[in-house]
Amino acid sequence: MKLAVVLFNLGGPDSPEAVVPFLTNLFSDPLVISAPGFIRIPLAKFIATRRGPVAREIYAKIGGRSPIVPETEVQAKALEAALCEHDTRVFIAMRHWKPFSDEAAKKVAAFAPDHIIALPLYPQFSTTTSQSSLLEWKRAAKAAGITAPISEVCCYPDEPGFISGLADRVRKTLALAKPEISYRLLLSAHGLPKKVVKSGDPYQWQVEQTAAALIGELGKVDYTICYQSRVGPLEWIGPSTDAEIRRAGAEGKGVIVVPVAFVSEHSETLVELDIEYAKLAAESGVADYLRVPTVSADPAFIGGLAGLVRDALAGTKPKKRCGAEWCRCGFPAA
């Protein structure tokens, strides 16, 4: 069987010149800003132009570009190797910068697979990420004339391979802890405006499922769930990661930050966590500051992704991960 797997992620600028176009694409997405197009498009251009200089400074700290595509390419190669029982090709489709879904769809069409698995690299489903990417892929696949059957993976917040890979990286970081310091794990995820969650988006609920599974694997530890990367004037879900760093400092704690919603290193980890929050920790009196790496191409994580692909290919009914309250999940509520 010829099997195509399409990996989805947000994407990131590949040069300083790409920063403003990337931001424009991001804020033009109707699932990110829900205003009508005649308002959303000019607003997106305004926000991107205004944020551009700051964003370029952020990316300048990591070489002027996002590492997310090279990271995803490594994950793709590892997943191809894990699915060696088929003639498997793994393709990359980024939502807001190159390679876009249109490019991926053309490559998939040229490969002429017997079956396609759409696999978001967002463990927790959100309308702003997973749904946006999957809808864009459907449009691109149709435009490319793809007729092969397509199966979609919705989400996997507590998938055992994902949790095992993350737990292993936490344990390795805990081994660096200073014995005289009491540490708190900050399970940090990208934030969302509260209004998005109140509309039925299951993201926050699924982040909590990831946290519960991870703590179940690690055992009894001091931890809290928190959210980073807040932008704009809207009220966002919390508590915020920066507030939790300050609280830990006030309590004389050390901090170990665990990115639980990112599976690749990019600006939110390499700059926000490693540089900006490390500086905040030092200023806030945090006794020690450590950061757990993302799962990236961890063998357990890749094995988990391969299992999700096999289940989707077999038509296995996905586990319902959203209650009736979270009605905007990718699959019907249980």
- Annotated binding residues for Fe(2+), written as ranges, equal 190, 268
CA quadruple 59, 63, 67, 73: dihedral positive or negative? Answer: positive
> What is d(CA 168, CA 26) in angstroms, rounded to the nearest whole number?
33
Residue ranges of E strands in the chain: 2-9, 87-94, 115-120, 150-152, 183-190, 223-228, 254-259, 289-291
Which amino acid is residue 38, in one-letter code? F
Kindly state the helix (H) or strand (E) to which residue 82 belongs, with its residue range. Answer: helix 68-82
Positions at the binding site: 190, 268
Three-state DSSP at 303 gives helix
Q: SS in 3 state form for 184-228?
A: EEEEEEECCEHHHHHCCCCHHHHHHHHHHHHHHHHCCCCEEEEEE
